[in-house]
Amino acid sequence: MPATRRQFLGLTAAAGLALVTSCSGREPSAAGPSSAGALRLTAAPMRLDLAGHPVPTWGYGTVPGPELRLRAGDVLRVQLENELPEDTTVHWHGLAPPNAMDGVPRITQDPVAPGAGFSYEFETPIPGSFMYHAHVGMQLDRGLYGPLIVEPRTEELAYDREYTLMLDDWRDGMDDHAGHDAGSGSDDAGSGDPDPADAVSFGGRSYPLLLVNGRPPDDPPVLEARPGDRLRLRVMNIAADTGFRFAIAGHRLTVTHSDGMPVEPVTVDALRLGMGERYDVLVDAAQPGGVWQVGVRPEGRDGWGRAVLRYTGSDASSAPAVAERPAELDGQLVRYEDLLAREPLDLPSGSPDRVYDLTLTGTQIGGQSYPDADPLPVAEGEWVRFTMRNTSAKWHPMHLHGHHFQVLTPSGRGPVKDTVAVPARGGEVTFDFLATNPGRWLFHCHNHHHMEDGMLRLVEYGRG
Ligand SMILES: [Cu+2]
C-alpha cells in the first residue's frame, strides 16, 4: 500500500530508514540507504508475472527494482551483488556522482563479474526523481531498473500522496529472441518501411507489451485517491526503444519538475516522454468518484499501456475498459519552450567557452560512431554548449552523464535536464552545461539500440 506523505515522513524520522512505496500492491521492500549500512541490490535471474503469465527475466528481485529513497545530502550506499551469468554495473541516471561511481563498465569501473560485488557510495546533494539501471549491453531491456527518489530537505510542494510510475516496453522472456538483434528491421539502420513524414517515433523495434510498474494493461497498477486529494506522480520512461504519451482521463497534469529539476508549474493535458526522461506532476482528484484511465500510448507505433486512478470506495464496475483511450492524450502537450527553470544553471555572462555542433543520425554523433569515435574534450570550469541537429527519421533522446544541462529556449530560462528529445528530420536542440565534475562521461542516445549502433561519445576532462 502506498503511504501518505505524512506517514512517510513519520516513518522516516522514527526508523531512520528510507521507505519504499509501491503502487502495485507488491510487498514494499523496507530497505534503503540510511546513515549506517548499505542497501543490498542483487542482480539475478527471476520471473516476472505478467497478468498470470510468468516470464523469465533478469532483475533486482522485483520489476521495477526496490524504490531507493533518501534525502538531499544523504550518502547513497548500495552493495551490488551480481548473480547474473554475465558482467553487470549500476548507473544512477540523472545523478551527478563522482566519476568512479557512475557505473559505466570499462569507462568508470571494472565490470562486476558473475559472483562478484561492488560498493557504490556517494553523496546525493541534489533532490529529484531519478532512476537506476544496469549499463551493460542491453541489460536495461530486461528488468534491471528501478526508481531513485532524492527528497529535498524542505518540501515546497503540498500533496497528499505520491506514486512513481515507470513506463517500459517489454519483450524479455516472450519469445526466443533477446538483446540488440531482437525485433530489428524497421529502424533507421534497418531496411523496413520508413515512418510517415509526420510521425513521432523514437524507435523501430517490435515490443509486444507496454508495462507500467512491471504490469501489463490487463493487470494495471491502481492509484488510490480520495476526492479532494492532490497527488504527486513521478512519471519515468525506462523503455529501451519507445517514447510515450501520458495522460489521465478527466484530469489535468500540473508539471512541477522535468528530469527531477524544478520548473514553474504549468498545467497541461498530456506529457511526451522520450526514453530516460521524467516528469513530476501534481494531479487534483477533483472528480466526485469513479475509476479513471491513466493512459500510456507509444509514440509512432501500436501498443498500449495503462494504470488506473481509483477514488476510494468507488465501485469496481466503474472501471474503464482496458483499451479505453483518454481524450486528453491528444490535448495540450507540454513542450520544452513552455517550461521555465526555477533554478537555472549559474552561467556567467558572455558566451560559451566551447561550442560543439553535433549532427545526429541513427548511428553517429558528430560524424563518428562509437567505439571508433574521439572523445569530446572540454576543460574543467568551462561553459560548454552542445547544439544537436537530427537528420534521421527517429527522435533521439540524448542523455549526458554526470551533469545537468539547461535547454536553450526562447525564454532564456529553459528547463534544466539530463535527457532531451531531439525531433526527427532536421530537429534541433541546444543545451549548455558547466564542466564542474571531472571525469570520463558518456553522452549518448537513450534508445539503447541506437547506442549499441554507435550513438555514443565521451565527454572527457581532468582537474585543473
Ligand atoms: Cu536515438
pLDDT digits (tens, 9 = 90+) for 85-113: 999 999 999 999 999 999 999 999 999 99
Q: How far does the centroid of ligand 1 lie from the alpha carbon of residue 238, in Å?
A: 14
Beta strands in 333-417 (DSSP E): 354-360, 376-377, 383-390, 396-400, 405-407, 416-417
pLDDT at 35: 42
Cβ proximity of 131 and 101 under 8 Å: no
Q: Which amino acid is at 422?
A: V
Q: How far does the centroid of ligand 1 lie from the alpha carbon of residue 70, in Å?
A: 31
Q: How far does the centroid of ligand 1 lie from the alpha carbon of residue 455, in Å?
A: 7
Cβ proximity of 89 and 111 under 8 Å: yes
Q: How far does the centroid of ligand 1 lie from the alpha carbon of residue 361, in Å?
A: 8
Q: How far does the centroid of ligand 1 lie from the alpha carbon of residue 180, in Å?
A: 13
Q: Which amino acid is at 365?
A: I
Q: Give the confidence band of 316 by pLDDT, cuts at 50, 70, 90.
A: confident
**What is the average pLDDT value for the chain, to the nearest integer?**
89
Q: How far does the centroid of ligand 1 lie from the alpha carbon of residue 404, in Å?
A: 19
d(CA 306, CA 338) in angstroms, rounded, equals 26
- The CATH architecture assigned to 5-155 reads Sandwich (2.60)
Within the chain, all domains assigned CATH 2.60.40.420 are found at: 5-155, 163-171+207-334, 354-461
d(CA 94, CA 128) in angstroms, rounded, equals 9
Closest listed residue to residue 446, CA positions, set 237, 283, 260, 250? 237
Give the pairing type, strands 117-123 and 75-82.
antiparallel
Least confident of 199-203, 342-346, 364-368, 404-408: 199-203
d(CA 326, CA 332) in angstroms, rounded, equals 13
Ordered DSSP codes for 45-95: EEEEEETTEEEEEEESSSSSPPPEEEETTPEEEEEEEE-SSS-B-EEEET-
Q: How far does the centroid of ligand 1 lie from the alpha carbon of residue 420, in Å?
A: 11
**Fold category of 354-461 in CATH:** Immunoglobulin-like (2.60.40)
DSSP annotation of 338 reads G
Please count the CA atoms within 13 angstroms of the CA of 246 that sit on its side-chain side: 31
Q: How far does the centroid of ligand 1 lie from the alpha carbon of residue 90, in Å?
A: 21
C-alpha cell at 10: 513519520
pLDDT digits (tens, 9 = 90+) for 160-172: 999 999 999 999 9
CA–CA distances in Å: residue 237 to residues 42, 180, 205, 211: 22, 19, 16, 11
Residue 2 — φ and ψ, nearest 5°? Answer: -70, 145
Query: CB within 8 A of 267, min separation 6: which ones?
Result: 252, 253, 254, 255
Q: Which residues surround ligand 1, an ion (CB under 5 A)?
A: 396, 445, 447, 450
Q: How far does the centroid of ligand 1 lie from the alpha carbon of residue 422, in Å?
A: 9
Q: How far does the centroid of ligand 1 lie from the alpha carbon of residue 450, in Å?
A: 5
pLDDT at 182: 53
Give the pairing type, strands 456-461 and 405-407.
unpaired
Residue 442 has pLDDT above 60, yes or no: yes
Query: How large a percentage of the chain has pLDDT more than 70?
Result: 87
User: 3-state DSSP call for residue 14?
Assistant: helix
pLDDT at 16: 28
**Fold category of 163-171+207-334 in CATH:** Immunoglobulin-like (2.60.40)
Least confident of 36-50, 59-73, 430-444: 36-50
d(CA 365, CA 370) in angstroms, rounded, equals 9
pLDDT digits (tens, 9 = 90+) for 210-257: 999 999 999 999 999 999 999 999 999 999 999 999 999 999 999 999
Residue 69 — φ and ψ, nearest 5°? Answer: -135, 125
Q: Which pTM was predicted?
A: 0.90
Q: How far does the centroid of ligand 1 lie from the alpha carbon of residue 91, in Å?
A: 19
Please count the CA atoms within 13 angstroms of the CA of 263 that sit on its side-chain side: 30
d(CA 183, CA 205) in angstroms, rounded, equals 5
Q: How far does the centroid of ligand 1 lie from the alpha carbon of residue 451, in Å?
A: 7
